[in-house]
A = this chain, B = another copy of it.
């Protein structure tokens, strides 16, 4: 006979670690750093605090020749909003518990990553993890040492202290041990931090490891992009389950008022229009709708031509992207483009792309492409081959732009922000090929490609001009004077002519330089 049992969410994710990016000691090392950094950034941005993050990696034992992993201690400190003391144990000790799900752009998936990190530490070292936190303007710092009881999916606190918060610090410190292969992961971790510094140029980050590496990413700008706002749901982004949950909140309202109150892009006129199509009276209380009526209404809403979803819930980075790219690559040319908001399946999204040339950008090796992918301000490092952005770039006929993306120092940057990024894995590695997203990326990249093409043409022309100028500068005076004498022209006219010619050459140079600056 088959035996049946129930398992806790902790147990499920413990048994299926790899789907969240914890598949081996190397990848785990990378995933832990990444999940904690992203939690910290989200926590700062929740209150528009300029992020300051410190990361310390220590080795608790040597990695022998024959070993594939070693005991590592990681400590991540941030200056975010912290976690209320009564919630702190659950925020890390209970899986599927987290800050409320709202329709607003955010990095994490219900805080799963941070919990998986400490869970992984626990199951590989059998040691508790430390959570130290204070919220803003509170008198005490709360110190927890705890385990996750995996079978019960509950925190198990082994030590708690309350410390007077003299300096009115706020933020969160996570500190724990885990078994990992740091040697194998280090390169990817540094790449991740480097790319994070591009997309979050208002962050300050210190990274110190036990091998003597110490990286300090300075803050490049002291302001932040406009804040994302919580907004109503778009009717196309709602399924029947969500629809019924919304009805429960306002079951006493007449159906037309309910539609106006709970959805964007529905005013009283649209509401009545929809209800007419569904054959439902607008005065009936929404809680009283029969199942068939509900389905009819839902079906009409699915095919009704609503306006695009509002993009106020999104937080694109705009010109900040140029600041980041400029600081990290010092390119000679950048073209940046932000598309108008668009949507897929009722979820709003905005695509921003940049193409940069020269400076520290390397010439790609082995037919690869310098592509930096970002989603909701997270760099995506693994599995770029499958990503929609890679597909767009490969599909473009670059000969038309006279650009050789494989043999010139060109880098592409694509940022997609959305209330729902269509990731293919919980490990947030690559974005599915959604037709609407593909289209927006393509249009944006093409626009930058045209700008780059124009710049490179101009550059080639200027190089030709430089040769011409040198040639002319050397001989023009002599030839002109000689020719003038032959033609018996007045010396002053010749001098004027020479002056004007030189001015024109300088003017062209200046114009070209201005293209470079305008980035």
Contacts and interface: CB of A to CB of B under 8 A. Distances in A.
Interface of A: 1-9, 11-12, 14-16, 18-19, 23-24, 46, 66-67, 81, 84, 87, 90-91, 94, 96-101, 109-110, 122-126, 150-151, 239-241, 244-245, 291, 294-295, 298, 303, 345, 383, 385-386, 422-426, 432
Contact of A239 (B23, B99, B124, B244): B124
Contact of A9 (B12, B46, B81, B298): B12
B16 A426 contact: yes
A14 B425 CA distance: 15
A432 B5 contact: no
Nearest to A17: B239
Nearest to A82: B2
A46 B423 CA distance: 35
Given A4-B84, A7-B101, A15-B101, 9 more contacts: A1-B84, A2-B81, A5-B98, A5-B101, A23-B422, A23-B432, A123-B240, A126-B244, A424-B425
22 contacts: A2-B100, A4-B90, A4-B97, A4-B99, A5-B101, A6-B97, A8-B96, A9-B9, A15-B101, A16-B109, A18-B432, A19-B424, A23-B422, A66-B303, A122-B240, A122-B241, A125-B295, A126-B244, A126-B291, A126-B295, A150-B241, A424-B425
Nearest to A120: B239
A459 to B, nearest CB: 36
A152 B22 CA distance: 29
B96 A12 contact: yes
A97 B12 CA distance: 10
Contacts of A291: 126
A303 to B, nearest CB: 7
Contact of A426 (B8, B19, B87): B19
A425 B432 CA distance: 13
Contacts of A9: 9, 12, 96
A294 B123 CA distance: 12
Given A9-B9, A126-B244, A241-B150, A425 B4 contact: no
Nearest to A292: B126
B110 A12 contact: yes
A350 to B, nearest CB: 20
Contacts of A5: 97-98, 100-101
Contacts of A109: 16
Contacts of A15: 101, 110
A4 B239 contact: no
Contacts of A8: 96
- The 6 A-B residue pairs whose C-beta atoms are closest, nearest first, are A3-B100, A123-B241, A2-B99, A6-B97, A126-B240, A123-B239
A292 to B, nearest CB: 9
Contacts of A12: 9, 96, 110
Nearest to A8: B96
A339 to B, nearest CB: 22
A15 B6 CA distance: 21
A241 B126 CA distance: 7
A422 B24 CA distance: 10
Contacts of A66: 303
A15 B103 CA distance: 12
A422 B18 CA distance: 8
A91 B122 contact: no
Given A46-B2, A125-B295, A19 B425 contact: yes
A63 to B, nearest CB: 12
A23 B16 CA distance: 20
Contacts of A1: 84
A424 B294 CA distance: 39
Contacts of A240: 122-126
Contacts of A67: 303
Contacts of A16: 109, 426
Contacts of A383: 386
A97 B19 CA distance: 19
A68 to B, nearest CB: 9
B18 A423 contact: yes
Contacts of A122: 240-241
Contacts of A99: 2-4
A122 B150 CA distance: 30
Contacts of A239: 123-124
